[in-house]
Structure 1
Amino acid sequence: MVFYSTRRPTEIPVTGVVDFIFENRNRIPDNKRLLIDASSNDTLTFGQIKQQTLQFAAGLQDHCQFNRGDVMAIFAPNMMDYSIPFLGALAAGGTVTTANPAYTARELLHQLSLSSAKVIVCTVGNAPVALEAANQAGISPSNVFVFGKTASPLGPRPYSQVLLGGRQLEKPMAIHNPLDEVSVMCFSSGTTSMPKGVMTTHSNITSNILQLDAMLYPFIKSPSDHLLATLPFFHIYGLVVVMFMALYWGNPLVVMSSFDLVQFCETIQKHKIKFASVVPPILVLLAKQDLASKYDLSSLQTLMSGAAPLTTELTEEVMARFPQVTVIQGYGLTETSPVLTVSPHEIVRHGTSGMLLPNITAKIVNEEGKEVGVGERGELWVKGPNIMKGYIKNPKATAECIDFEGYFHTGDVAIIDKDGFVSIVDRIKELIKYKGFQVPPAELEGLMLASPMIADCAVIGVYDKEQATEIPCAYVVLKPDYAASDETAKVIQKFVADQVVNYKQVRIVRFAKEIPRSAAGKILRRILRDEANKLATKAKL
């Protein structure tokens, strides 16, 4: 059975992302402040965004010999002007890859190498990591720039001083085939290898903007409604649902560099924020922390949650504490640019991920490979204009998840009810979702097996209800010369922490005599998860 969106199909533009934004369908005045720094109150108007984008594009061409098809990496937290280098690289005919600013040099090098990046824009704070990775990737130090107004002591200068103020393109370079040309490469963690680069085309982005517009714009009451950016722009959720939607709608976007509960509440109070995209752990804080009640959050009307499952109970807790707020939920993946479902304005059904966006069809396929119908569970397969082109330099992985009909196999188990609401009920993939970030067990296991203490290991996700997230938990078999102890566990945790970004760190270490495996040697994670659940149940008794 094929499930169809109940929404009227939207016409997908055949154009590049920058041309699409500059087309200005919502008639945004050039002098309207669109981007606001939550800390400094610095701003950028729509006119300034357009001008600086075209200056940046020309600067890339003149100073970095940046050509059509070249790749620029942004290695930074949220910045008020994040969109300038992003759109500027696209306007120059290139592609952008966005990297987590907390990456180690090892992690960044993998992304730079796989994407073949030629230019990096980072911050003064993480310039040492950027330069170390750039050196190993063969990127010239002169092609490394920083945000802000101050040069790094190590050499990189602000992009605003080097790339802006000179020549300016008359218009963005034409995107000849938006359906095929790649606009951005975010990285999606795999279960058996290092993260894979997802090739997202220009049409993938523009189509998802319009698909989201059809579902979310009714939640926006006025062009003057202020939106809040606290989710990271390096993640496609923050990039598309937050940054691009604000630029398309023309609603002022107040940008936080990272999440902090005090600043989050202060910003809502100060700027009268109406709409914010969040993840479940933020909702936990709003529901349970007394701090939130000390601020005037009465302007807040809608919170959209994504990146991880949201329970009905947590939704109701938040809405009971803030009666004027509607909490909605969406679902998607990096490979789907990213949104597939979201709650419609006219009816919000808590505990579900909403309904299929326009132009999307879906199938539910059971373990026998048969399509099933309404109310039956199985893997969710989806098809639409927002499905990625594929994984960079990995045709095998692409072929494994996109079939001959064009359906992307999500790896998530879902149920679609008679009204078209989608509920995600399980995950086939082994990925751990820690506070909205993907943690690949195989990567951590590979690192841990390099420790002289560890004979064997397995990593699983253990759900923590209090934090509304999974926690990376390692089961470890020690070599004979080492004894299980709290101190040994801390040594193992530090061994991993020294090599990975914060969200990938192992939070729990449990010692085992052996790791359960199949006859073929595959780790039987379900057995470990069952054991972890039993331990959690006993701890509550």
Structure 2
Amino acid sequence: MALASRYPDVEIPELSVPQFVLAGAAERRDSPALIDGTSGETITHGELAFYVERLAAALAARGLRKGDVVAVFAPNTIWYPVVFHGIAAAGCVVSPINALYTPDEIAFQLKDSGAKVLITISLFLDRAQAAVAQAPVDEIVVMDGAEGHASLRDLLTTDAPAVQVDIDPATDLVTLPYSSGTTGLPKGVMLTHRNLVANVTQSRPLAGVEDGDERIIAVLPFFHIYGLTVLMNQGLQWGGTVVTLPRFDLEQFLRAIQDHRITRAFVAPPIVLALAKHPMVDQFDLSSLRSVTSGAAPLDESLAQAAQDRLRKGAAEGTSVGQGYGMTELSPVSHTTPEVGLEPAGAGPTPKGTVGYALPNTECRLVDPATGEDCAPGERGELWVRGPQVMAGYLNNPQATADTLDREGWLHTGDVAIVDDEGRYTVVDRVKELIKYKGYQVAPAELEAVLLGHPEITDAAVIGVLERDTGDELPKAFVVRAPGSSLDEDGVIAFVAERVAPHKKVRLVEFIEQVPKSMAGKILRKDLKARA
């Protein structure tokens, strides 16, 4: 049974992504659109629109045409949005590359996407050149300049005529990020202009936006769809100021919030963990911060509450900590926690631990993975999503597309969820990550939440380890101890055993210095399995 959003549908503008995001640039031309959080360098909304128009003209003059793919291999800078929207305005497709990728990984994406141009920075040039040696492109552009390569300045100072490209938002691609999807090797996720425009439009009714006054901290990478849509495009479309940081450094992050009077932080659970537990937080004035929204991985209820309580002690009385849910194939958001006062009619405050409500224009189903039948009310099932934010499919991979996106337009997320009577969803775990112990299903995320409740544990991850004799998977915890802690394996096992059913108990414990995570905050379980 399809479950409709508790929010009324919104109208999706028939615009390209640059037209939509930069629509208000003229009226706020002198206000800051982007600020470098480390140097203070600034691009105004007017300058951003001008640079985008010039870059599109330069790309067209270099022979790029509608539908051509341009890969971008760079960290967050104030120039990343210029590059993204300039490529999009030229009718080309942006394929963002993870800044941590090796030459082999970059080469795979260049070849698979059919990229004609690679735009990077001088610090990444060695890896870029090694990749291009395997998967040639027509040109490497180095944003900050390098001998033998055009720079971004060279492109922006072109006197080439402006270009007008006829874009069909519903069918023309704007970006091609790569995702492993529910399983397997990375695949190009085909996202249209309409996908991205829809997702920003759908999110707004739950956000309580103060036009032009929002200041968003952009520490999550723009090469990830979360950073690209939620931080970069959404922040700019609101007419706000996006403050960029090249990577997460806690002191730098806290200082940027303080000095730039940040109002909203869209983060991942490791940052919420730092806000809740790290002593450095008390050294900074975070009173401007009204909203912290976590995504990319499950956020435990008690951790969200602890972070909110601590931030409110810092005089930011209105600070709320919530979470959302999505994936690259959803552009990326399908569910989020509304700002206080923006709950659906008749609904109360959104409990911590849930991912909130389905966005407007979004339908959901919870389906039993074993039978393919809809689950009864109150039962857990795989979350299926249908709406205008759902991808067009995987590039050149019809089988993977068919495995994930069915003929009725339902995206099978691979995540297990439950919905309450108010229409609020809680994501329990991934279908593929559930641990099978003596016929029972054990959710790693549930055990990780329990572990993080221990005062001497600063981080934790859980995987299933195969027991050869029985064929069962034993829950194994990888634990990061707090400084000075003498917590041992028996102490961890006993702590969890007191709080969960017998079949969910942790059976093995390994202490590690750091839980391996992607730049988007997801636990890299494959790395843990490799050492288990």
Matched, 1:73 2:88: no
Q: 2:321 aligns with which of 317, 327, 331?
A: 327
Q: State the AA in 1 paired with 2:179.
A: S
Which residue in the other structure is 1:186 paired with?
177
The answer to whether structure 1 residue 254 and structure 2 residue 243 are counterparts is: yes
Q: Which amino acid aligns with 1:429?
A: K
Task: Select 2:194's aligned residue among 192, 196, 203.
Answer: 203
Residue aligned with 1:53, SS: helix
Structure 1 counterpart of 2:310, one-letter code: R
**Does the aligned pair in 2 maintain the 1:280–1:309 contact within 8 Å?**
yes
> Does the CA contact (< 8 Å) of 2:56 and 2:163 recur in 1?
no
**Alpha-carbon distance in structure 2 between the residues aligned to 1:130 and 1:407:** 37
Q: Structure 1 counterpart of 2:424, which letter? A: F
Cα distance, 1:131–1:514 mapped onto 2, change above 3 Å: farther
CA offset at residue 174 of structure 1?
A: 2.0
Cα pair distance change 1:169/1:412, threshold 3 Å? farther
Matched, 1:146 2:142: yes
Q: Partner of 2:22: helix, strand, or coil? A: helix
Q: Which of 505, 527, 530 lines up with 2:475 in the alignment?
A: 530
Q: Structure 1, residues 317-340: CA drift from partner, whole Å, max 9, x if none? A: 111211122001100010000000
- Does structure 1 residue 339 correspond to structure 2 residue 333? yes
373-382 or 530-539, which deviates more: 530-539
- Conserved in 1, the CA contact under 8 Å of 2:464 and 2:473? no
Listed as ranges, the matches of 1:12-161 within 5 Å are 12-24=12-24, 28-63=27-62, 65-140=63-138, 143-148=139-144, 151-152=145-146, 155-160=148-153
Among 363, 366, 371, the alignment partner of 1:368 is 371
> Given the alignment, which residue of 373, 382, 386 partners 2:385?
382
**Alignment correspondent of 1:393:** 396
Kindly tell me: are residues 192 and 266 of structure 1, through their superposed partners in 2, closer, same or farther at Cα, counting changes over 3 Å?
closer
Q: State the Cα distance separating 1:536 from its structure 2 match.
A: 6.3
In 2, distance between residues paired with 1:114 and 1:431?
Answer: 31
Residues 414-461 of structure 1 deviation map (CA, whole Å, 9 limit, x = unaligned): 1111100000012113499xxxxxxxxxxxxxxxxxxxxxxxxxxx99
- 1:235 equivalent in alignment to 2:220: no
Residue 299 of structure 1 and its aligned partner are, at CA, apart by: 1.1
Which of 272, 282, 290 is matched with 1:293 structurally?
Answer: 282
Pairwise CA distance, 1:31: 1.4
User: How far 1:238 moved relative to its partner?
Assistant: 0.5
Correspondence 1:158-173 to 2 at 5 A? 158-160=151-153, 162-167=154-159, 169-170=161-162, 172-173=164-165
Query: Which residue number corresponds to residue 301 of structure 2?
Result: 312
2:353 paired residue number = 351
Equivalent residue number for residue 253 of structure 2: 264
**Separation in 2 of the partners of 1:310 and 1:193?**
25
Say if 2:15 and 2:193, in contact at 8 Å, map to a contact too. Answer: yes
Distance of aligned partners of 1:94 and 1:222 in 2 relative to their CA distance in 1, 3 Å threshold: closer
The whole-number CA distance in structure 1 between the counterparts of 2:295 and 2:17 is: 23
- Tell me the distance in 2 between the aligned counterparts of 1:108 and 1:467: 33
Q: Secondary structure at the match of 2:353?
A: coil
Report the 3-state secondary structure (helix = DSSP H, G, I; strand = E; otherwise coil) of the residue aligned with 1:371: coil
Question: Hey, what does 2:518 align to over in structure 1?
Answer: none
Q: Is the 8 A contact 2:90 2:163 kept in 1?
A: no
SS in 1 for 2:264: strand
Once residues 172 and 333 of structure 2 are traced to their aligned partners in structure 1, the CA distance between those partners, rounded to angstroms, is 20
C-alpha spacing 1:135/1:52, structure 2 compared with 1 (3 Å): same
Cα distance, 1:190 vs structure 2: 4.6
1-structure distance, mates of 2:49, 2:98? 26
Structure 2 counterpart of 1:233, one-letter code: F
User: Alignment length, in residue pairs?
Assistant: 457
> Using the alignment, how far apart are the partners of 1:474 and 1:419 within structure 2?
33
| CA positional deviation for 1:61 | 1.9
CA displacement 1:275-331 (0-9 Å, x = unmatched): 110111001111111111011111111101000100111011111211122001100
Q: Deviations over 1:115-159 (max 9, x none)?
A: 11111111111101111111211213xx111223xx335x33422
Give the stretch that moved more between structures: 12-21 or 240-249: 12-21
What one-letter code is carried by the residue in structure 2 that aligns with 1:530?
P
Question: 1:469, 1:207 → 2: CA distance?
Answer: 36
Q: Deviations over 1:79-124 (max 9, x none)?
A: 1110111111111111000011111001111111111111111111
C-alpha distance in structure 2 between counterparts of 1:531 and 1:225, whole Å: 43
After superposition, the Cα gap between the structure-2 partners of 1:470 and 1:184, relative to the gap in structure 1 and judged at 3 Å, is farther
Task: Report the CA distance shift for 1:387/1:169 in structure 2 as closer, same or farther (over 3 A).
Answer: farther
1:411 aligns to 2:400 (yes or no): no
Any gaps of 5 or more consecutive residues in structure 2?
Answer: 342-348, 436-443, 480-487, 495-532
Aligned partners of 2:36, 2:302: CA distance in 1, in Å?
A: 34
Letter in 1 for 2:54: Q
- The gaps in structure 1 that reach 5 residues or longer are 433-459, 476-511, 518-526
Contact 1:281 1:467 in 2 (8 A): no
Contact 1:18 1:172 in 2 (8 A): no
User: How far apart in 1 are the matches of 2:470 and 2:235?
Assistant: 48
Task: Point out the more displaced range, 6-15 or 195-204.
Answer: 6-15
Whether contact under 8 Å (2:57, 2:162) holds in the other structure is no
Quote the Cα distance in structure 2 between the aligned partners of 1:273 and 1:368: 47
Q: Percent identity?
A: 37
**3-state SS in 2 of match to 1:322:** helix
State the shift of 1:226 in Å: 1.6
The answer to whether the Cα contact below 8 Å between 2:467 and 2:474 also exists between their aligned partners in 1 is no
CA separation in 2, counterparts of 1:372 and 1:34? 46
Q: Secondary structure at the match of 1:349?
A: coil
